[in-house]
């Protein structure tokens, strides 16, 4: 199989990754329109104008409403699932953790799509770039919500967040070594020890003022 290659078209720029955590509801995502945005899985429904969609789970693809969203999506669609056969979906090679994949046709992922989406962002921004997570909560919301969008039809295991954190912790040293600025704009995140936590509104306003 020939795998899709990701070029560094956002070199030294900022990439925003919108994951599924409920904290995304704290922000008006319109502030990201016109910026470099990667959505993960069902975040496509909240940000249908994003540049990239990444999904790693064929179960997500098999949901009719998700397939319909992909058909209308103007951006590029990336996966590491070799079970997908659709001309709109580009397949990258997958490697297991630890660390990021350096080959631009390969993404690291075992248990969480946030790992692969971060690897995708790294290929796009390269050394000197910035990657910002949204919805990387690492926990249930106070009201029991698991996502800012409609929950997936499959259940989350009791240890899902700790397993995700273990995987994500393996890519943080790589990002630092490659001089990529990585930040977490997820209010109240349980993963504050992974990346510095910022307020997205303040970050955007600072950039506008610069």
Quick: pLDDT tens for 42-95: 999 999 999 999 999 888 999 999 999 999 999 999 999 999 999 999 999 999
91 sits in which H/E element: strand 89-91
Mean of the pLDDT values across residues 130-142?
Answer: 93
Alpha helices in the chain (DSSP H): 58-61, 64-72, 113-125, 160-169, 172-177, 200-209
- Output the six-digit token pair for 84: 């997908």
Q: Is residue 37 part of a domain?
A: yes
Q: At what angle do helices 113-125 and 160-169 cross, to 10 degrees?
A: 30
Average pLDDT, the chain: 93
Q: Is residue 162 part of a domain?
A: yes
Residue 73 sits in a domain whose CATH number is 3.90.1480.10
Q: Is residue 6 part of a domain?
A: no
133 within 8 A of 7, measured Cβ to Cβ: no
Q: Is residue 4 part of a domain?
A: no
Q: How many domains does the chain have?
A: 1
- Per-residue pLDDT tens for 118-129? 999 999 999 999
**What is the structure's pLDDT at 154?**
60
Q: Is residue 128 part of a domain?
A: yes
Indicate whether 134 pLDDT > 80.
yes
CA distance 81 to 190: 29
CA distance 102 to 15: 17
Long-range interactions of 192-195: CB distance < 8 A, separation 24+: 194/165, 194/168, 194/169, 195/133
Q: What is the DSSP string of 110-146?
A: SS-HHHHHHHHHHHHH-TT-EEEEES---S--TTS--
**What is the structure's pLDDT at 145?**
73
Q: Is residue 9 part of a domain?
A: no
119 within 8 A of 108, measured Cβ to Cβ: yes
Q: Is residue 8 part of a domain?
A: no
Q: State the residue range of the domain holding 144.
A: 14-209
Q: What's phi and psi for 52, nearest 5 deg?
A: -135, 145
Burial of 202 (0-12, 13-18, 19+ CB in 10 A): exposed
Assign 155 a pLDDT band (cuts: 50, 70, 90): low
pTM of the predicted model over 0.85 = yes
**What is the structure's pLDDT at 150?**
75
């Amino acid at each position: 199989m020939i795998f899709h290659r990701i070029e560094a078209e956002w070199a030294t720029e900022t990439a925003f990754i919108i994951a599924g955590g409920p904290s995304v509801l704290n922000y008006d995502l319109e502030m990201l329109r016109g910026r470099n945005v990667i959505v993960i899985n069902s975040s496509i429904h909240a940000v249908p104008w994003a540049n990239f969609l990444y999904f790693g789970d064929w179960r997500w693809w098999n949901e009719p409403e998700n397939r319909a969203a992909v058909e209308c999506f103007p951006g590029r669609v990336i996966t590491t699932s070799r079970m997908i056969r659709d001309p709109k979906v580009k397949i990258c090679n997958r490697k297991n953790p630890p660390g990021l994949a350096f080959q631009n046709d390969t993404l690291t992922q075992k248990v969480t799509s946030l790992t692969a989406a971060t690897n995708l962002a790294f290929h796009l921004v390269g050394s000197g770039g910035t990657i910002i997570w949204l919805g990387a909560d690492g926990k249930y919301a106070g009201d029991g919500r698991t996502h800012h969008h409609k929950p997936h039809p499959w259940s989350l295991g009791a240890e899902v967040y700790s397993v995700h954190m273990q995987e994500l912790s393996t890519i943080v040293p790589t990002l630092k070594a490659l001089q990529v600025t990585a930040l977490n704009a997820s209010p109240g995140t349980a993963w504050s020890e992974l990346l510095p936590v910022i307020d997205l509104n303040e970050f955007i306003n600072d950039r506008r003022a610069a």
